[in-house]
């Protein structure tokens, strides 16, 4: 693996973009990607809406793309934005890093930001691992996100009682002891497309804005991150089901709640599932309507367009990140 510093790829760390989001009360979109079409769609949508962007890669996405390709894809994303004449700030972020070695590898190979997710460990172990990553990262001008509290998996009850919410009383101590740059918290979101088990007509329970407010009060001005923030767009789930898929009971976080979070100390909102749904819905539609089609460009192209539409909608109408980059 070649050693590369992110600045040579034209990337930036997340410090300035999260500070702007805090000052101007919006959230920076953090979109996950696994392939070229997703990356092109995310960057195109963010340039068209003049939004900063955090490109997120999970450990398994990194394995899928391969470390030979990843820095070049990131550099191409920067070039794509520059060519449009609006060079938006772009960060490349490791999502849910699970070890010091993984975080170090990413820092050494062009990432500008890393998450170390030790939230399932004890408080002391979480602090120790996070601090180790922060020391290495900050020596390379890389920003670090950590997590306190555990997000629920697929929830059994509407009340989300299987998650372990972040304890506001632990936050100050955690920040002091780790020196981390942003903190992911657990206030009722969860990963994936099946966040709540709802009866027909039932609405998802509200996020725990009281916990968020208590955290903001203890650490005013500190950037908070929301994982598991896909809305699980009904339109895309309906398309998937209409064209041969089966995604019964899929449900996500209502947009109104995300708008409220984005206007608070939540400065970064993570979206993966909604992007997967958008592309899958369009690919299923094309396969159903044109069963003879076998040119990947004829289904990946429209799927990419559908993802651009989704990014524009999120940035404009949910996160408030549109129009924040001025030429
Ligand atoms: O938070 C997890 C992300 O949605 C990434 O998921 O490990 O399937 O890439 P993945
Ligand atoms: P979703 O599954 O809700 O898109 O969450 C993505 C996420 O948190 C990535 O870290
Ligand atoms: Zn996550």
pLDDT at 162: 57
Ligand nearest to the CA of 193: 2
Tally the domains of the chain: 1
Strand, coil or helix: 95: strand
Q: What is the CA radius of gyration of the chain?
A: 19
On whether residue 1 sits in a domain, the answer given is: no
Q: Which helix (H) or strand (E) holds 308?
A: helix 296-313
146-200 pLDDT tens trace: 999 999 764 444 444 456 999 999 999 999 999 999 999 999 999 999 999 888 8
Question: Pick from 158, 217, 151, 155: which is nearest to 184 by CA?
Answer: 151
- Residue 327: band (very low, low, confident or very high) from pLDDT cuts 50, 70, 90: confident
Q: Which of 79, 95, 108, 272 is catalytic?
A: 95
- Residue 1: band (very low, low, confident or very high) from pLDDT cuts 50, 70, 90: confident
Residues whose beta carbon lies within 6 Å of some atom of ligand 2? 32, 95-96, 191-192, 227-230, 270-274
On whether residue 325 sits in a domain, the answer given is: no
- Name the residue of 117, 191, 255 whose CB sits within 8 Å of the most ligand 2 atoms, as the mutation to test its pocket: 191
* Dist CA 5 CA 143 (whole Å): 13
Which tokens in the block code for residue 52? 């900063």
259-309 pLDDT tens trace: 999 999 999 999 999 999 999 999 999 999 999 999 999 999 999 999 999
On whether residue 326 sits in a domain, the answer given is: no
Query: b/e per residue, 288-311, with b = 16+ CB within 10 A?
Result: eeeeeeeeeeebbeebbbbbbebb
Q: Are strands 143-148 and 182-185 parallel, antiparallel or unpaired?
A: parallel
- The label of the residue with tokens 């079409």 reads 37
On whether residue 43 sits in a domain, the answer given is: yes
User: Other C-beta atoms within 10 Å of 5: how many?
Assistant: 15
- Ligand 1 lined by 60 (C-beta under 6 Å): yes
Ligand nearest to the CA of 30: 2
On whether residue 202 sits in a domain, the answer given is: yes
The number of the ligand 2 atom at minimal distance from the alpha carbon of 195 is 3
Question: Pick from 180, 145, 152, 185: which is nearest to 169 by CA?
Answer: 185
What are residue 194's phi and psi, to 5 degrees? -125, 70
pLDDT at 203: 87
The number of the ligand 2 atom at minimal distance from the alpha carbon of 151 is 8
Cα dist from 52 to 143, 215, 266, 311, whole Å? 16, 25, 15, 12
Residue with CA nearest ligand 2 atom 1: 228
Ion ligand 3: residue ranges with CB closer than 5 A: 227
- Ligand 1 lined by 32 (C-beta under 6 Å): yes
The number of the ligand 1 atom at minimal distance from the alpha carbon of 227 is 1
- Ligand 1 lined by 58 (C-beta under 6 Å): yes
Show the domain range for 105.
6-319
* Dist CA 16 CA 300 (whole Å): 34
80-138 pLDDT tens trace: 999 998 999 999 999 999 999 999 999 999 999 999 999 999 999 999 999 999 999 99
The number of the ligand 2 atom at minimal distance from the alpha carbon of 226 is 8
pLDDT at 163: 65
The number of the ligand 1 atom at minimal distance from the alpha carbon of 34 is 9
Which tokens in the block code for residue 179? 């020196």
On whether residue 71 sits in a domain, the answer given is: yes
Ligand nearest to the CA of 147: 3
pLDDT at 153: 65
Residue with CA nearest ligand 1 atom 5: 58
Q: Is 95 a catalytic residue?
A: yes
Q: Are strands 143-148 and 28-32 parallel, antiparallel or unpaired?
A: unpaired
Residue with CA nearest ligand 2 atom 5: 228
pTM for this prediction: 0.96
Q: How far is the CA of 156 from the centre of ligand 2 (A)?
A: 18
Q: Are 286 and 13 in contact (CB under 8 A)?
A: no
Residues near 128 by beta carbon (within 8 Å), at least 6 away in sequence: none
Q: How far is the CA of 193 from the centre of ligand 2 (A)?
A: 9
- Name the residue of 98, 152, 204, 227 whose CB sits within 8 Å of the most ligand 2 atoms, as the mutation to test its pocket: 227
On whether residue 256 sits in a domain, the answer given is: yes
What CATH number is attached to the domain comprising 211? 3.20.20.70
* Dist CA 95 CA 191 (whole Å): 12
Whether the pLDDT of residue 76 is over 50: the answer is yes
Q: Are strands 143-148 and 113-116 parallel, antiparallel or unpaired?
A: parallel
Q: How far is the CA of 266 from the centre of ligand 2 (A)?
A: 15
On whether residue 327 sits in a domain, the answer given is: no
Residue with CA nearest ligand 2 atom 9: 270
Which tokens in the block code for residue 51? 């939004």
């Amino acid at each position: 693996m070649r050693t590369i510093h992110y600045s040579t790829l034209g990337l930036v760390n997340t410090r300035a973009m999260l500070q702007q989001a805090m000052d101007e009360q919006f959230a920076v979109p953090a979109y996950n990607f696994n392939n070229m079409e997703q990356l092109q769609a995310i960057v195109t949508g963010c340039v068209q809406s003049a939004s900063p962007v955090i490109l997120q890669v999970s450990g398994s996405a990194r394995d899928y793309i391969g470390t030979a390709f990843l820095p070049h894809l990131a550099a191409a994303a920067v070039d794509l934005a520059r060519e449009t004449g609006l060079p938006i700030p772009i960060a490349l972020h490791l999502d849910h890093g699970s070890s010091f070695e993984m975080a170090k590898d990413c820092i050494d190979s062009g990432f500008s930001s890393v998450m170390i997710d030790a939230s399932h460990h004890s408080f002391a172990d979480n602090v120790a691992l996070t601090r180790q990553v922060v020391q290495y990262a900050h020596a390379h001008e890389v920003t670090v996100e950590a997590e306190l509290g555990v997000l629920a998996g697929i929830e059994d009850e509407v009340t989300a009682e299987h998650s372990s919410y972040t304890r506001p009383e632990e936050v100050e101590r955690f920040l002091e002891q780790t020196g981390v740059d942003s903190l992911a918290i657990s206030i009722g979101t969860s990963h994936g497309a099946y966040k709540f088990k709802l009866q027909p007509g039932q609405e998802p329970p509200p996020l725990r804005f009281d916990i968020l407010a208590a955290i903001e009060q203890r650490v005013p001005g500190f950037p908070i991150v929301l994982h598991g923030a896909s809305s699980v767009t009904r339109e895309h789930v309906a398309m998937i089901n209409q064209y041969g898929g089966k995604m019964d009971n899929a449900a996500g976080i209502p947009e109104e709640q995300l708008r409220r979070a984005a206007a608070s100390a939540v400065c970064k909102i993570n979206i993966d599932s909604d992007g997967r749904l958008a592309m899958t819905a369009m690919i299923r539609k094309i396969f159903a309507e044109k069963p003879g089609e076998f040119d990947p460009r004829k289904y990946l192209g429209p799927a990419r367009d559908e993802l651009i539409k989704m990014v524009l909608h999120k940035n404009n109408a949910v996160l408030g990140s549109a129009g924040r980059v001025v030429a």
